[in-house]
Chain A
Amino acid sequence: MTATIISNLPVFVVIAPLFVAFVLSTFARRIRLVESLVIAVLALGVLGAGYLASLVLMQNGIPITYSMGGWPAPWGIELVAGSLSAFFLLLVSGVSLPVALFTVANMTHEVGGSVRTTRFYVLYLLLAGALAGMAVTNDLFNVFVLVEVATLSCCGLVSACKHPRAAEAAFNYLILATLGSALILGGIGFLYIITGHLNMGFASMELCRIWQDYPHVVWIAGGFLLVGFGVKSALFPLHVWLPDAHSTAPSPASAILSGLAVKGYMICFIKVLYNVFGATLIQEFALDRILSLLGMVAIIAGSLFAVAQDELKRRLAFSTVAQVGYVFLGLGQVNVCSLTGTLFHIASHAVIKSGLFLAAGAIIAATGKTRISEMAGIGGRMPITMAAFTIGSLGMVGIPLFSGFIGKWHLLSGSLTAGSTLAPLVIVIGSVLAAAYLFPIIRTAYFEQAQATDGQDPGAPQRIALILLAAGVVILGVAPGPFLELASRAAVELLAIK
């Protein structure tokens, strides 16, 4: 029995949300039931992911493999739950549950009508399933399919509001994302052409053997993948869709988009980069330097843009652009410490940013104000919301005791190990700029004289969601233990592939 559960666990965590998503639309009118189903399946996901993670941690690096349809590896599609997968699954389930909790009894107002709300949940679960799939898949084409599923559900979430601006943003996003998908598909195609495999492990072995015969093709494949995933995960010059999309979406959607969706593409990119190309090729083709350069540019530029924004959600969206830069910077420093930092940063940013977006959503819902300059004194009126926001900000800035610090610490020490001196500087400047765009919000909220008197903390589920995420920030900062362990193991495994 246990063996069955274990062996089916990787596919279960993917299938469960997808299945519920399809079922959901039959209960469209009974919104309470829909909500409880969503919460239930996500809670189940948390349990499954937690169990999987503990198994992975106990098994000391031997991944749990599941072959779809019983076809073994080179022919069939393979799902592999290693450290990286467990890490990301835990993250996906851990963040999507509080965000879903936040939507309870709250979305109808924002989205309009219970049918539309149900559709929102369908998309939400599709996205969650796709992200879980990204975590466990070991097949290149499967990556493409899941990326597309995620993209479409993201676009759907962005356009969930009736506002025409949302449709506009969604259309923009869709066009660019499809362009990115096309590039990703092209890149996968090139890899397939020269290696003949879609399974990452086999493709990697083959590539290792023959890359010197087809250097140009490898380069082009790498370039396609870089730009494709760059668009998807909003790497700086390709981030143009993100601010509009993330700021016009409903707040829970923004939270999940900024917090998780972007991270899913990154995880895919990491898999393709390290599992297929491998550390040697990355360095051989100077991908590392390009990545860290792009990352640095993204950190600085994204932060500067964020400082200039007055609209709260736009500021947070640009902050995502900056934080994506850290991940790419970390990917560019090919060593264990940096990769650990990168992965941990992905996790901490997922928790923090979804918390921030939810808090912003709560504020906007309560007061109807979207601009920071109008939010004077909000801290006194919405204490829990602003407390969560403050904790998130502190984490983002990288104050010790909060989750951001640990990721940054590893990034810093990894980039120093890699011998770069510019990278630490940029990381630190990024932190200071993060303070520059987040602390003014806190200052306005707590320390400026209030003109308005409206607004109060949201209802109980929302509060619980905020508290959960804030607690997550603190717990990740104070006791990152198993999470960091998973991240560092994942980093070791990623670098072990030749």
Chain B
Amino acid sequence: MIDLVLALLSGAVGGLIIAFMPQCGSRLRNVVALSSSAAGAIFSWRVAGAVLAGRTIRIAGTNGGLAWSLHPDPLGVVFALIASTLWLFAAVYSFGYMAGEERQRTYYTYFLLALSVTLGVAFSGNLVSLYLFYELLTLVTYPLVIHERTEEAMKAGTKYIVYSLSGAGAILIAIVITYSLTGNLDFGGGALLADVSPGPGLGWALALFVAGFGVKAAVIPLHRWLPQAMVAPTPISALLHAVAVVYSGVYGILRVVYSVFGHELIGQLGFSHILPWIAAFTILVGVIIATQQDVLKRRLAYHTISQLSYILLGAFTLHPWGLAGAILHMISYSTLKVTLFFGAGIIAKQTGKVNVSEMSGVGRQLPGTLTAFGIASLGMIGMMPLNTFWSKYYLMKGSVAWGKSPLALVLIVSGIINAFCFIPTVVTAFTGEMRQPVANKERDARLMLVPTLLLAGIALLIGLCPGLVWPGVDAVINRFF
């Protein structure tokens, strides 16, 4: 119980300390940021340990006829673990990346607040709390998106907030529909709507939920904010726009499918049979668009769009294996994508190069970075020694077992396009001619490089021994099936 509260508060407290600390030095600020994200991670791990061991942790209350509740279940703690662990890495990376930047105080304040809110999303035990933290996440991350304060950044921020709030509006309607059907919004028991007979109201609710959370999950017609939000500093792009924020959308959809509707009911709604194809469409189109982008971060952004739909695909298969794939992909993809973003950030900082076409030869200047980048690229394809293989494997298995083998083919095709997307970059980075002189050689990149390499290592380790993360996956499956 106390762990849960501490996990939730650690980020917020750190953020507020930084916000109200009078003109502190960067060293002190870094210490606060590191310790509060470390605290968030540690307490999340403790919560996770307790939850996976089968204990119930629940804090709940009612507020004006609306119950709120914090009640982490396996799915929630998996998300919380991913987020809080990666936050730690991103914090360390930020120390290197943000050194010498303007507006660091604002940056770290919101960076840490976002940790709390993300954990809130993960731990929320009913739809109202989920909605609350989902909305707050938008607001807290907005200042991070517009951190550069350029016109482009402001535009991106506006787009981000408009998309997110519209999505949240759709979710609100859907929540109210759910509430009017059942009068209960708690995730604690079985699926909320399990006893409701299928009808048009349910179809609307599902459509609104998916559309609402789909905004943050960047499902294709609703994805436009994501590539533009990449004007944010790299740690933010890495953490928020590849993991925390977009995962809150994905997590929401997983919740909706398994906790609100339940896989049995949702299978009876005709609409649910269209959903995996939307995900498949997003997977393919996203990655194809990604291959055509020249700006590396934009490429990564479109690639994110594609990869997020892997998770959704797994969720929509309504099969234990598909769900296992989705959870595994949440874990694996986040490590790899953060690695990729970190790599892109280091390249941009150290050489000033942001375009793929300029990157020939940077591998010789930054071998460690590009090695990590290369490993992550291979992972994105779904090659064996990396953790994404397992997620892909279970995703495919889920779709085959569900009787939709073409979806497995979609994953294969997407894998090969992924190869086209990143491999040439890495190869030319190592083998190509260096076209321009190096911009910024003196900067000490160790603070950035160490988390990057560590993450790549973790990805490899999980790939070799998926048993490391399997208890979490297993618990999630047992929770819902």
**Interface residues, chain A, with chain B CB atoms under 8 Å away:** 394, 397-401, 406, 408-410, 412-413, 416-417, 421, 424-425, 428-429, 431-432, 435-436, 439-440, 443, 446-449, 478-481, 484, 488
Contact B64 A416 (CB under 8 A): no
B139: Cβ under 8 A from any A Cβ: yes
A413 engages B135 (CB within 8 Å): no
- B171-179, B351-359, B429-437: which one contacts chain A? B171-179
B63 at the interface (CB under 8 A from A): yes
Whole-angstrom distance from the CB of A195 to the nearest CB of chain B?
37
In the bound complex, do residue A416 and residue B177 qualify as a contact, i.e. CB atoms below 8 Å apart?
Answer: yes
Question: Chain A contacts of B166 at CB under 8 A?
Answer: 432
* Cβ distance B258 to chain A, nearest Cβ, rounded Å: 23
Chain B window 56-91, contacts with chain A (Cβ cutoff 8 Å), 1 for yes, 0 for no: 000000011110000000000000000000000000
* A423 and B120 alpha carbons, distance in the complex (Å): 30
Q: Do the beta carbons of B65 and A410 come within 8 Å of each other?
A: yes
Q: Which of B169, B180, B204 contacts A431 (CB 8 A)?
A: B169
Contact (Cβ within 8 A) B143 A432: no
Q: Are B176 and A406 in touch, CB under 8 angstroms? A: no
Interface residue? B206 (CB, 8 A)? no
Tell whether, in the assembled complex, residue B176 and residue A416 are in contact, meaning their CB atoms are under 8 Å apart: yes
Closest to A483 in B: B64
Take A400-B135, A425-B173, A478-B63 as given contacts and tell me if A417 and B180 are in contact as well, using a CB distance cutoff of 8 Å.
Answer: yes
Closest CB-CB distance, A249 to chain B, in whole Å? 31
Contact of A481 among B64, B131, B135 (CB under 8 A): B64
Q: Are A399 and B64 in contact (CB under 8 A)?
A: no
Partner of A443 from B132, B135, B157, B162 at Cβ < 8 Å: B157
B146 on interface, CB distance cutoff 8 Å: yes
Q: Chain A contact residues: over half helix, strand or loop, or mixed?
A: helix
Known: A400-B135, A428-B173. 11 other contacts (CB 8 A): A399-B132, A401-B132, A401-B136, A412-B173, A424-B176, A428-B169, A428-B170, A432-B162, A432-B165, A432-B169, A443-B157
The answer to whether A399 touches B136, judged by C-beta atoms less than 8 angstroms apart, is yes
Task: List A contacts of B162 (CB < 8 A).
Answer: 432, 435-436
The reply to whether B161 and A435 form a contact with Cβ atoms under 8 Å apart is yes
A412 to B177, CA, bound (A): 9
B176 touches A413 (CB 8 A): yes
Quick one: given A412-B173, A431-B169, are A447 and B65 in contact (CB under 8 Å)? no
Nearest residue, chain B, Cβ from A479? B63
Number of interface residues of B (CB under 8 A): 29
Q: How far is the CA of A394 from the CA of B172 in the complex (A)?
A: 16
Smallest CB–CB gap between B140 and chain A, Å?
Answer: 11
Residue B477, interface by CB 8 Å = no
Which residues of the partner chain A approach B165 to less than 8 Å between Cβ atoms? 397, 431-432, 435
Q: Is the CB of B179 within 8 A of A413?
A: yes
A412–B169 CA distance with the chains assembled, in angstroms: 11
- What is the minimal beta-carbon distance from B192 to any residue of chain A, in angstroms? 15
B131 proximity list for chain A (CB < 8 A)? 400
Residues of chain A contacted by B64 (CB below 8 angstroms): 406, 479-481, 484
Closest Cβ–Cβ distance, residue B9 to chain A (whole Å) = 15
Among A406, A416, A436, A447, contact of B66 (Cβ-Cβ < 8 Å): A406
- The 4 residue pairs across chains A and B that have the minimum distance between CB atoms: A428-B169, A400-B132, A480-B64, A412-B176
B33-68 interface with A by 8 A CB criterion: 63-66
Which residues of chain B are within 8 angstroms of A401 by Cβ–Cβ distance?
Answer: 132, 136
Contact with A along B96-140 (1 / 0, CB 8 A): 000000000000000000000000000000001001100110010
Q: What is the CA–CA distance of A481 and B66 in the complex, to the nearest angstrom? A: 11
**Residues of B close to A400: CB separation below 8 A:** 128, 131-132, 135-136
User: Contacts of B136 on A, CB cut-off 8 Å?
Assistant: 399-401
* Residue in A394, A406, A412, A417 with the greatest tally of chain B CB atoms within 10 Å: A412
Judging by beta carbons under 8 Å apart, are B173 and A399 in contact?
A: no
User: For residue A447, which residues in chain B have a CB less than 8 angstroms away from its CB?
Assistant: 143, 146, 149, 154, 157
Residues of A within 8 A of B179 (CB): 413
Tell me which residues across on chain B come within 8 A of A399, comparing CB atoms: 132, 135-136, 139
Closest residue of chain A to B173, judged by CB? A424
Between B65, B66, B132, B143, the greatest number of chain A beta carbons within 10 A of the residue's beta carbon is seen for: B65
